[in-house]
Structure 1
Amino acid sequence: MRAKLLVTSTVLAGVALSGCSSPQGPKAREGAPLESDALSAFYEQKIAWKPCPAQDVPDGTPQGVRFECATVRVPLDYGHPERRTLTLALNRLPAASKTTRAGSLMTNPGGPGGSGLQYVYDFASDYSPAVRARYDIVGMDPRGVGASSPVHCLSDQEQARLAAMDGDASAGALDYAKACGKRSGDLLPFLGTDNVARDLDIIRAALGDEKLTYHGVSYGTLLGQFHAHQFPHRAGRMVLDSIVDPTVWPADTTSEAAAFDTALGVFVQTCLDSPKCPMGTSRSAVTREIDDLLTRSNDEPLKAADGTITGLELSFALNQALFDEGTWQPLQQALGAAFRGDTAALTRLLHPEESSTSGKSSTNDGLAENAAVRCLHLRPEQRTAHAVDEITAEVNKAAPLFGPQFLFARSLCTDWPAPPIPNAGRALTAKGAPEILLVQNSFDAATPVQGARSVEGQLDNARLITNISGGHGFYDKGPCTRKVVDDYLTAGALPARGTVCHDRAEGLPNAAPSRH
């Protein structure tokens, strides 16, 4: 089950209550101010589930799988809940057994800007039978995303020009922030992770659960940290998969970009460690071939019978491959052929035939939905053109391949027309919450393992389990990773500290890839 990240070509890119007869109600939170009477109506609302529209359910959904959809209301501004409200879209796959059902498993796939609805449609049935028997698998499009009052900044044509980085990228980024303020300025100040965590707690209550049981991936781990920090006594069994460190994301652009360049080395070395690597026989030679291919495709699109490949498309393909080890072998084969002058396989890989695996095609502005959250995690002094200029040389030196993409993503936040959230850049402790399970692949580019170790230390009560693997997303790697998560969600059982899994994509060596 892989994180459904909204990563564009320019953005890589995420409790028991006491003394109350209504345990999920708004006035019983321990260790935090009581909610106002105006919030009571939101906490006391009942969810009316109904079958999801047929056009939204993916083709090929197994027979007998029946998704249900609903909405909940939340305040736009929690400081003034009596004013404007937002309607958030939910879906769920009901628990497979009514007799063993224990409640709901709330999920978030990351991004930020990832559709929780699409995640549940695509992957809810992939949870283990034990988890499926115990929980309804619930997804939400967070405020500002997808079917929940989405942010819009640019037209399709304007997005295409920005993605192609036509002209001065810095000027384009500044224009982007202005466009977002013009088209979605009424929403932007209220799309922070702190408010999404408050939405989660209202949904928890509306679902009828005393505590939030949660599986968050990538940026979803940051959302989970915020909920546990803001509502520690309402947190239940919480699995944070592929950890985002709130003290460095997204401000440490250098480390973020360098992690992808490093992971590309793991991608190359994994090929070299196999019996016959199609890309070559030495790391330095393969790296030179990749650099040469990128240079040539940037100068002029590579031609093949089935189409062309631009440098941007090739760079994006390499970026995306680092999220999923299952794509490594086909890409290694295609790159090896391209090094020898045959780009047909690479063209087919980058331009697969369009398939209709899910219902309606999205008309949302994924870049805006990502930036609208990410930029609120930067302090004012980090959102200036000068701040970007100061780090440009350092980033490009540390990450020659991926640095420009991350710098452009950072520049989109220049003069962002909404203030940062109060906890931007600060550690979250979640003091008083139950022990949180952190799970992490050791060679993950998008969320490096160093961040997971840092978060384990920041949280008051957490346990980190690692898997010796590349790629993004721990749970679906293999039998060990599944057991770690399943045992905790179904029985509250945590593995011993220091437990390490060795699950990798099929066909890849189980030994840790050499990094030199």
Structure 2
Amino acid sequence: MTTRVRVGALAAALVLLAGAAGCSGGDSGDGDRERRTEGSGRTGQSAAGDLDWKRCEAPTTAHGSGAERPGDRWQCASLPVPLVHDDPSKGTVDIALIRAKAKGSGARIGSLLFNFGGPGGSGVATLPLSASQFATLNGRYDLIGFDPRGVADSSAVVCRGSAETERAHRIDHTPDTAAAQRTYLDVARAFGAGCAERSGRILPHVGTESAARDMDLIRAALGDDKLHYLGFSYGTELGAVYAHHFPQRVGRLVLDGVVDPTADFVGGARNQVVGFQRALENYFADRGVGAREGTDRIVRLLKRIDAAPLETGTDRKLTESLALTGIILPLYSEDSWPQLTEALAAAEDGDGSDLLTLADAYNNRDSEGEYSPQDHAQRAISCADSKGRVTAEQVRSRYLADFTEVSPVFGPYLAWDLAGWCADWPVEGAWDTPEVSAKGAAPILVVGTTGDSATPYEGAKRMADELGEGVGVLLTNKGDTHGAYGTSECTTRAIDDYLLRGKTPKNGTTCS
């Protein structure tokens, strides 16, 4: 199974942050109870009862490597929601929550719910690790993170073990021969079968529409009449789907690092080919290297590694696919470009260790060789959402040449990913593209970054249009990061003014 470029959160570092904690099953003595209110028009299970906030437990493998227990100011709880919203008799699934109460002197606005993308990213893990970026917002909001259904402490989808994952990363993800293509597809099919075997109960119900309806139950359980929300990357799609289903409950919603809602399964992958090639060319331009020269340099390196994987100082070698993954990671943020420079120079000298370290970080592999199942949830959610199913023959005849023309570096990888991603998936997809029109909703702030690699800027403009006239408000951030908040003073101030004071910038505003 190959790994579609993760639509991660904030910037490259946050895509990888796997730490933090699950929710405690025991009373620490410093808990807090909060009455769940009955929000109008709620679906499925009643919210009657209490959210029982307690000290957070230590993290699990599902949260990834480098996890730490959050400090005492953080509390965890869980909210039971219907497994099938239209049929509560099918039972429930617990949604894991984490919060830091508002601590400023200003009047509390309410709760601010976060989603950090993926799909498959754990809000319970990521929010405490990134909370310093949101200190200003924490002055007037309770900060709330959650694990969407199928993720980490919310009935994580698990499809295979770490040994199987290690073997999968070693196969050729740009297969050139018939035998290599068969191996590639066999591994992809085995992954889907493993998901069905190990997570069959939750697997049909992890799509974005179900998660959006869960968010409305979270809103009501927190006692808020409106949902205030900050969504990054895939979290922008989730927030927009929420706005479509619950336009009258939209409070202050920010969508940052925006997924193109008009792109179907193939179009979304092609967008990423465009975005990462653009980021690579921006990286080389920053170093005084021409786009063609820099691209050709990477292509030569990858071909060399494909023919003879590099030594890394361990019993693992750097394959072409792992090298490409290591290149992708630093392109999430220009702050990581120096790491890319060092890793490329080492690889060209025959040392693959730096690129392998970057690839392992992206793939959520810890120092003991254990892999987090975060990418299992990513694939399960994506395939539950999208109807797109592509065959190997379609890749060869229709997509490989086009993707490769756009990017000789990333095109072949993401073209073959079309065939591997949802191969023989045991669950049908819900849509070709999500419905995000939100007529009647309050203004929603849509933030796009011009050099965003994973979610190209054009998607933000399309999202603002799709939300509807008077709803989508486009704010452009000039930069080379995946996500804008915290990367420029102008953009961060505009988002803070909107969330804290309800001040909506003029549609089309640009921050440098």
TM-score interval w.r.t. the shorter chain?
0.7 to 0.9
1:156 aligns with 2:162: yes
The normalised TM-score by structure 1 is 0.81
- Match of 1:169, SS? helix
* d(CA) in 2 for partners of 1:468, 1:459: 22
Q: 1:134 to 1:61 in 2, by over 3 A?
A: farther
Question: 442-451 or 260-269, which moves further after superposition?
Answer: 260-269
Contact persistence 2:450–2:456 (CA under 8 A): yes
Show the counterpart of 1:143: 149
Q: 1:185 to 1:65 in 2, by over 3 A?
A: closer
The normalised TM-score by structure 2 is 0.82
- Match of 1:256, SS? helix
Partner of residue 259 from structure 2, selected from 231, 234, 244: 244
1:418 aligns with 2:427: yes
- Match of 1:215, SS? strand
* d(CA) in 2 for partners of 1:348, 1:375: 28
1:254 aligns with 2:254: no
Question: 106-115 or 291-300, which moves further after superposition?
Answer: 291-300
Show the counterpart of 1:452: 460
Partner of residue 482 from structure 2, selected from 472, 476, 485: 472
Q: How many corresponding residue pairs?
A: 463
1:173 aligns with 2:170: no
- Match of 2:51, SS? coil
String of CA shifts for 1:114-139, please: whole Å, max 9, x gaps: 1111111211232142x111111111
Counterpart residue identity of residue 493, structure 1: K
Partner of residue 285 from structure 1, selected from 293, 308, 317: 293
* d(CA) in 1 for partners of 2:165, 2:339: 30
Counterpart residue identity of residue 325, structure 2: F
* d(CA) in 2 for partners of 1:158, 1:60: 26
Q: 1:222 to 1:6 in 2, by over 3 A?
A: farther
Deviation at 1:293, TM superposition (A): 1.9
Show the counterpart of 2:491: 481
- Match of 2:168, SS? helix
Partner of residue 77 from structure 1, selected from 84, 107, 113: 84
Contact persistence 1:110–1:218 (CA under 8 A): yes
Partner of residue 400 from structure 1, selected from 375, 395, 408: 408
Q: 1:73 to 1:23 in 2, by over 3 A?
A: closer
* d(CA) in 2 for partners of 1:349, 1:164: 15
Question: 79-88 or 194-203, which moves further after superposition?
Answer: 79-88
Show the counterpart of 1:429: 437
Partner of residue 113 from structure 2, selected from 106, 123, 137: 106
* d(CA) in 2 for partners of 1:384, 1:215: 36
- Match of 2:446, SS? strand
Show the counterpart of 1:335: 344
Q: 1:202 to 1:107 in 2, by over 3 A?
A: same
* d(CA) in 1 for partners of 2:446, 2:104: 28
The unaligned stretches of length 5 or more in structure 2 are: 1-9, 19-34, 173-179
* d(CA) in 1 for partners of 2:401, 2:350: 35
- Between the two proteins, what is the percent identity of the paired residues? 34
Show the counterpart of 1:18: none
Contact persistence 2:451–2:478 (CA under 8 A): yes
The 5 A counterparts of 1:25-104 are 25-26=38-39, 28-29=40-41, 35=43, 39=44, 41=46, 43-53=47-57, 66-97=73-104, 100-104=107-111
Show the counterpart of 2:7: none
Deviation at 1:377, TM superposition (A): 2.7
Counterpart residue identity of residue 180, structure 1: C
1:120 aligns with 2:127: yes
Counterpart residue identity of residue 423, structure 2: T
Show the counterpart of 2:319: 310
Contact persistence 1:303–1:309 (CA under 8 A): yes
Show the counterpart of 2:32: none
Question: 450-459 or 389-398, which moves further after superposition?
Answer: 389-398
Contact persistence 2:11–2:483 (CA under 8 A): yes
CA RMSD of aligned residues (A): 3.2
Contact persistence 2:244–2:437 (CA under 8 A): yes
- Match of 1:69, SS? strand
* d(CA) in 1 for partners of 2:104, 2:356: 43
String of CA shifts for 1:147-202, please: whole Å, max 9, x gaps: 11011111222222222226421232223222222222222211110000000000
Contact persistence 2:322–2:359 (CA under 8 A): no
Q: 1:85 to 1:364 in 2, by over 3 A?
A: farther
String of CA shifts for 1:292-314, please: whole Å, max 9, x gaps: 22222222233466885432232
Counterpart residue identity of residue 316, structure 1: T
* d(CA) in 1 for partners of 2:59, 2:187: 36
The 5 A counterparts of 1:265-276 are 265-272=281-288
* d(CA) in 1 for partners of 2:187, 2:67: 38
Show the counterpart of 2:504: 494
String of CA shifts for 1:451-505, please: whole Å, max 9, x gaps: 1111111112111111111120110112112101111110011222222112xxx
* d(CA) in 2 for partners of 1:352, 1:226: 32
Counterpart residue identity of residue 237, structure 2: L
Q: 1:428 to 1:348 in 2, by over 3 A?
A: closer
Show the counterpart of 1:17: none
Contact persistence 1:251–1:378 (CA under 8 A): no
* d(CA) in 1 for partners of 2:125, 2:404: 35
* d(CA) in 2 for partners of 1:247, 1:7: 29
Deviation at 1:249, TM superposition (A): 4.5
Q: 1:334 to 1:92 in 2, by over 3 A?
A: same
Q: 1:165 to 1:407 in 2, by over 3 A?
A: farther
Question: 66-75 or 293-302, which moves further after superposition?
Answer: 293-302
The unaligned stretches of length 5 or more in structure 1 are: 9-21, 273-280, 503-516
1:214 aligns with 2:229: yes
* d(CA) in 2 for partners of 1:73, 1:61: 23
- Match of 1:451, SS? helix
Partner of residue 190 from structure 1, selected from 168, 191, 205: 205
* d(CA) in 2 for partners of 1:450, 1:100: 37
Question: 148-157 or 255-264, which moves further after superposition?
Answer: 255-264
Contact persistence 2:74–2:100 (CA under 8 A): yes
Contact persistence 1:150–1:364 (CA under 8 A): no
Counterpart residue identity of residue 474, structure 1: A
